[in-house]
Each structure stands twice: as C-alpha cells, then as structure tokens.
C-alpha cells in the first residue's frame, strides 16, 4: 500500500484557487478570458499568495500529515 501526504498538493492548489474562482466569476458576468486576464492575473496572484501562505501555516505548523492511501 502506498501513501501520499496531501499537504504539499493542497498548498499548490490553494495558490491557484482564487484565480480560478475569479475566472469563473468573470465568465458568469459575461466577460471573455482576454478581457479579464489582467484583473485575474493580479488579484488571483495576490489572493493566491495570501491563501497559500495561510493554508501552509495551518497544515505544517503543529499539524499532522493528511494521508491518501491506495493499493498497488
């Protein structure tokens, strides 16, 4: 049985989450990807840094690993 610690992928995914949410919101408001690109890049990157840092602090400071187990 193999085990993967999910803390590392969660930090990476949490960096991209605000940008994806902003892109989906722009699509729902009727903007194209090209129109919203600059806004999403700035606020998605800024929000991603803040959110990824908060998630990494929460997961790695006095936290236990989150294991995903699967069989070979």
Q: pTM here?
A: 0.76
- Give buried/exposed letters for 31-68 (b at 16+ CB in 10 A, else e): eeeeebeeebeeebeebbeebbeebbeebeeeeeeeee
What pLDDT, in 10s, does the model give residues 23-47?
999 999 999 999 999 999 999 999 9
Query: Is the pLDDT reported for residue 63 higher than 80?
Result: no
Task: Give the pLDDT confidence score for residue 64 in this predicted structure.
Answer: 79
């Amino acid at each position: 049985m193999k085990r993967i610690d999910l803390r590392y992928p969660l930090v990476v995914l949490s960096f991209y989450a605000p940008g994806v949410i902003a892109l989906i919101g722009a699509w729902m408001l009727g903007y194209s990807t090209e129109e919203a690109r600059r806004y999403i890049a700035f606020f998605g990157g800024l929000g991603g840094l803040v959110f990824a840092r908060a998630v990494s602090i929460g997961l790695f400071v006095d936290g236990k690993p989150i294991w995903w187990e699967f069989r070979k």
